[in-house]
Amino acid sequence: MTLLAERTTTDAAADLEAAEVAVVPTGSTEQHGPALPLGMDHMAAQAFARSAADREDTVVLPTIPVGVSVHHRQFDGTLYVSAETFEQYVEETIASLAEHGVRKAVVVNGHGGNSGALRRAARTLRDEETAFAPPWNWWDSVEDVAADLFDEDGGHADAMESSLLWHIRDDLVQPDELEAAEAGASESWGESVHGAALGFDTIDFSESGAVGRPTQADPEKGEALFEAGADQLDALLDWLAAQPLEDCWARAHK
Smallest separation, CB 68 to a copy of itself (Å): 10
d(CA 131, CA 103): 4
- Residue from 82, 128, 187, 242 that binds a copy of itself (CB under 8 A)? 82
d(CA 46, CA 161): 14
Between 162 and 216, CB nearer to a copy of itself:
162
Is the CB of residue 126 less than 8 Å from the CB of residue 154?
no
Between 93 and 163, CB nearer to a copy of itself:
93
- Residue from 44, 45, 52, 61 that binds a copy of itself (CB under 8 A)? 61
- Residue from 38, 47, 168, 224 that binds a copy of itself (CB under 8 A)? 38
53 binds a copy of itself (CB under 8 A): no
Smallest separation, CB 152 to a copy of itself (Å): 19
170 binds a copy of itself (CB under 8 A): no
Binding segment for a copy of itself among 81-89, 148-156, 158-166, 213-221 (CB under 8 A)? 81-89
148 binds a copy of itself (CB under 8 A): no
* Long-range pairs, 90-93, Cβ under 8 A, ≥24: 90/24, 90/26, 90/64, 90/117, 90/118, 90/121, 91/121, 91/124, 91/125, 93/24, 93/61, 93/64
Reported as type and span, the H/E element at residue 22 is strand 21-26
Smallest separation, CB 47 to a copy of itself (Å): 14
Binding segment for a copy of itself among 62-70, 146-154, 160-168, 215-223 (CB under 8 A)? 62-70
DSSP assignment of 108-123, as one string? EE--GGGHHHHHHHHH
- Radius of gyration of the chain, Cα coordinates, nearest whole angstrom: 18
**Which residues on adjacent β-strands are paired with residue 120?**
none
Reported as type and span, the H/E element at residue 33 is none
77 binds a copy of itself (CB under 8 A): yes
- Residue from 21, 122, 149, 178 that binds a copy of itself (CB under 8 A)? 122
Total number of residues that touch a copy of itself (CB under 8 A)? 96
Smallest separation, CB 132 to a copy of itself (Å): 9
Question: For the stretch 163-178, what's the b/e string if a residue is b when 16 or more beta carbons lie within 10 angstroms of its beta carbon?
Answer: bbbbbbbeeebeeebb
Query: Which x/- pattern over 178-217 shows residues binding a copy of itself (rule: CB under 8 A)?
Result: --------------xxxxxxx-xx-xx----x--------
Distances (CA, A) of 16 to 48, 59, 102, 105, 133: 20, 7, 7, 12, 16
6 binds a copy of itself (CB under 8 A): yes
- Residue from 53, 57, 112, 123 that binds a copy of itself (CB under 8 A)? 123
